[in-house]
A and B are shown apart, each in its own frame.
Chain A
């Protein structure tokens, strides 16, 4: 006989990181790998946040990989790192996201949790190499009419990322690093901003996604439809 549900609230956050070769040259890989443990430590040490949120890490280049399944911060011994790999296929990331969100929400609900709409933080340093094909995959992920689990997406772009493209990917927020700003430093600020968003969103007694202000060195980009 299954146990009665507790109704415990869960906010899922997915961090989607560009692992393309260009990320190494700009200091992006180092910035991400030093920022993720800090994010983990901040969330794990806050009882209000760690009890309520789950974080997952996805990387993408030629293909997308789940580096960290959706987990409670205090259950994560150490955050995995990212490595520079191939090109920048956005579509792979969105396809994997769609699959993982469905899988994770099904699992959480079967355990009796109340799951809030997932939030996705999408971080990239360049234009998509699958520029002809990523948009339909993206649309099927974020279209609330066809996907009732469509996530809220906050997009961040540095270095070679295009503001218009970043504005298309964000559904509730989009930010681009200002020209002249060191991309590695911008990425560090982005991770801090991301951490603040997770903490603020999870700390409220009535959970709701708090879109961060523009990270230092970044400006807000108008959102655009795809």
Chain B
């Protein structure tokens, strides 16, 4: 009788993407008795969450990794994302991308991030399917929609009727009437992207934000372009220090995404290390090179799990590649546009 063939497990374990000097966590095994990576007693830890797939001409990948701060404290990931595909009445197809980052100061922000991202994504899908949908109408009415449709659903839930009743999916164990909006604070970033590139490879994309989770466009030349929102002649509208649902006034803008660009929504756990006033930081420089084209999912998880001292917040990215068939290209200033 022949010997049974064994799976090849000879490959080395995934190595850490190290940026700068190793952090204290760099070489720590999650199961070690240092207890720097604790389970979340109430569940919903979300150590690694990922959605990925193609739609139309787009390749989308969303990755969220629980940060060291929450791992040490045994608390859940306070970032969350939601992705939906929506079709308008006239047959245009869009992908809806939503990213939320719960504020550490808010008691129930992990729940709020999960719930808000899902509610907002579902709301946008319904709006897109409505007869009256246009990007412009949505940009004007988005704040009102958040107030009327999302806030009531976010701030109200059924409490268990008896001690043995099961709570709904991760809702706080307290009555919703006893929870203040300040305990549910999250940042909110949204993008609505056509799934097929428009004429001359250009698409109109709607972006919206409350708070400091940035959206970037990674250009073919390796630059990170940060779109601006709602600038006015008499000043600058900023919601950078605001949070939903305390603020429902969402800053919106429309940008043009060209074939070959990569739209990146991020929580500040990643965004803070992309670039600053002085220019690109080391992580930003590295990701600008490797995120020009789609990568396999384990490698993307490794990218977002980078080891960098003091980077202990939750990390979440949503990447939207507009040309999923592009070959790997070296970044040069003269990169040819096809």
Contact = CB atoms under 8 A, between A and B. Distances in A.
- Chains A and B come from one and the same complex: yes
Contact of B23 (A7, A10, A51, A206): A51
Interface stretch (B85-93, B164-172, B274-282): B274-282
Given A4-B281, A6-B282, A8-B310, A205 B269 contact: yes
B313 interface: yes
B24 A6 contact: no
B281 A6 contact: yes
Contacts of A203: 69
Given A4-B280, A4-B282, A206-B104, A47 B310 contact: no
Contacts of B281: 4-7, 112
Interface string B97-127: 0000000100000000000000000000000
Given A47-B68, A51-B310, A6 B283 contact: yes
A129 interface: no
B238 interface: no
A204 interface: yes
A40 to B, nearest CB: 15
B272 interface: yes
Contacts of B283: 6-7
Interface in B256-313: 269, 272-273, 276, 278, 280-283, 285, 308-313
A9 interface: yes
B282 A9 contact: no
B25 interface: yes
A52 B24 CA distance: 10
A9 B308 CA distance: 10
A135 B72 CA distance: 44
A10 B310 contact: yes
Contact of B282 (A3, A10, A48, A114): A3
Contacts of B285: 4
A50 interface: yes
Nearest to B286: A4
Interface residues of B, number: 28
Residue among A5, A10, A203 facing the most chain B CB atoms (10 A cut-off): A5
Nearest to B285: A4
B276 A48 contact: no
B312 A7 contact: no
A8 B69 CA distance: 15
Contact of A47 (B19, B25, B276, B280): B25
Contacts, number: 67
B69 A48 contact: yes
B20 A48 contact: no
B36 interface: yes
A204 B310 CA distance: 10
A6 to B, nearest CB: 4
Interface string B13-41: 00000011001110010000000100000
Contacts of B308: 6, 8
B67 interface: yes
Interface string A1-43: 0011111111000000000000000000000000000000000
Contacts of B67: 205
Interface string A113-157: 010000000000000000000000000000000000000000000
B278 A48 contact: no
Contacts of B309: 6, 8, 51-52
A112 B269 CA distance: 18
A8 B312 CA distance: 11
Given A4-B280, A5-B278, A205 B312 contact: yes
Given A6-B282, A8-B309, A48 B272 contact: no
Contacts of B19: 6
Given A4-B282, A8-B310, A52-B310, A47 B273 contact: no
Contacts of B36: 47
Interface string A44-68: 0001101110000000000000000
Nearest to B103: A206
A47 B72 contact: yes
B68 A48 contact: yes
Nearest to B69: A205
Interface string B176-215: 0000000000000000000000000000000000000000
Given A8-B310, A47-B72, A50-B24, A205 B276 contact: no
Contacts of A6: 19-20, 273, 281-283, 308-309
A137 to B, nearest CB: 31
Contacts of A7: 272-273, 276, 281-283
Interface of A: 3-10, 47-48, 50-52, 74, 112, 114, 203-206
15 contacts: A5-B278, A5-B281, A6-B19, A6-B282, A6-B283, A7-B272, A9-B310, A47-B23, A47-B28, A48-B69, A48-B312, A51-B24, A51-B309, A204-B69, A205-B104
Interface of B: 19-20, 23-25, 28, 36, 67-69, 72, 104, 269, 272-273, 276, 278, 280-283, 285, 308-313
Given A6-B273, A206-B104, A206-B313, 4 more contacts: A7-B272, A7-B273, A8-B310, A9-B310
